[in-house]
Amino acid sequence: MSSQGAVKASPRERLLSTATELFTTQGIRAVGIDRILKDSRVAKASLYNSYGSKDALVVAYLEHMHTADEEAWSKRTAPMDRPRDRILAFFDLVLASGSIPMGSPFIAAALEFPEPTTAGERAIRAAVDTHRQWVLDTITEQLRLMGLQDPDNIEEMALRLVVLLDGAVTAARMLDRVSSTMTARAMAEMTLRLVD
């Protein structure tokens, strides 16, 4: 009689899992390839066969985090009828996050690569921009659903809300998560009252 164990993760999966843990806790530039290989127990050849470079692994990590954020927002907002509540859900997710607040890997990556010079660094910034654009587009759509019609007003208000969200995410990493996030959420509510 044989027993079936759990399916062993592939080298590609182990690399991404290890990179996610290390990048989110220690930073992207601070973590070298050798550390990722050691912790994931993967040969260097597997890294290059799976991703091609550290920069490509960073992009895969950011894409993974982006998907996680999208799924978390969709799950949280699925039972919500009001667009206003779906906007505030972004702030609630920062509050409900574990040690890595929603959106923070993207802010951290943007700070680590402020002026990308190589193709790999530009790909990293593009992944950051994709996440930010998703947040902006999602908030913009919810504002439209609230009845805001002037494109200039929608764009201005969406940008205000994204700036508040950026502040909540950053403060959640630096200060008390609850008080800083609740302050940003209250300011977002005040902004949304201009539409209600």
Q: Pick the range with the lowest mean pLDDT from 4-8, 17-21, 98-102, 166-170.
A: 4-8
116 is in which domain, residue-wise? 54-192
pTM: 0.91
The reported pLDDT for the residue numbered 151 is 84
Q: Which tens digit of pLDDT belongs to each residue from 11-20?
A: 999 999 999 9
The pLDDT of 74-95, averaged and rounded, is 96
Two structure tokens written together for 125: 């910034």
Average pLDDT of the chain to the nearest whole number: 92
**Distance between CA 163 and CA 77 in Å, rounded?**
21
CB burial readout 56-65, b (16+ within 10 A) else e: bbbbbbbebb
CA distances from 195 to 45, 148, 153 (A): 55, 7, 10
Q: Is 35 in the same domain as 59?
A: no
Q: Is 13 in the same domain as 62?
A: no
**What is the Cβ-side half-sphere exposure of residue 95, based on CA atoms within 13 angstroms?**
15
Q: How many domains does the chain have?
A: 2
| Helices and strands in the chain: count of H runs, count of E runs | 9, 0
- Whether the CB-CB separation of 55 and 13 falls below 8 Å is answered with no
**Distance between CA 128 and CA 118 in Å, rounded?**
15
Q: Which tens digit of pLDDT belongs to each residue from 20-64?
A: 999 999 999 999 999 999 999 999 999 999 999 999 999 999 999
Cβ neighbours for 78, distance < 8 A, ≥ 6 positions apart: none
- Whether the CB-CB separation of 57 and 124 falls below 8 Å is answered with no
Is residue 135 domain-resident? Answer: yes
The reported pLDDT for the residue numbered 6 is 57
Question: Tell me, what amino acid is at 68?
Answer: A
Is residue 74 domain-resident? Answer: yes
| pLDDT for residue 2 is more than 60 | no
CA–centroid distance for 138 within its chain: 14
Is residue 127 domain-resident? Answer: yes
**Distance between CA 18 and CA 60 in Å, rounded?**
12
| pLDDT for residue 3 is more than 70 | no
Residue 4: pLDDT band by 50, 70, 90 thresholds? low
The pLDDT of 69-83, averaged and rounded, is 97
CA distances from 160 to 15, 22, 39, 113, 129 (A): 37, 32, 41, 24, 17
Whichever domain contains 43, its CATH number is: 1.10.10.60
Q: Is 120 in the same domain as 178?
A: yes
Q: Which tens digit of pLDDT belongs to each residue from 153-181?
A: 899 999 999 999 999 999 888 877 788 88
Q: State the virtual CA torsion across 87, 89, 92, 98 in degrees, nearest 10.
A: -120
Is residue 3 domain-resident? Answer: no
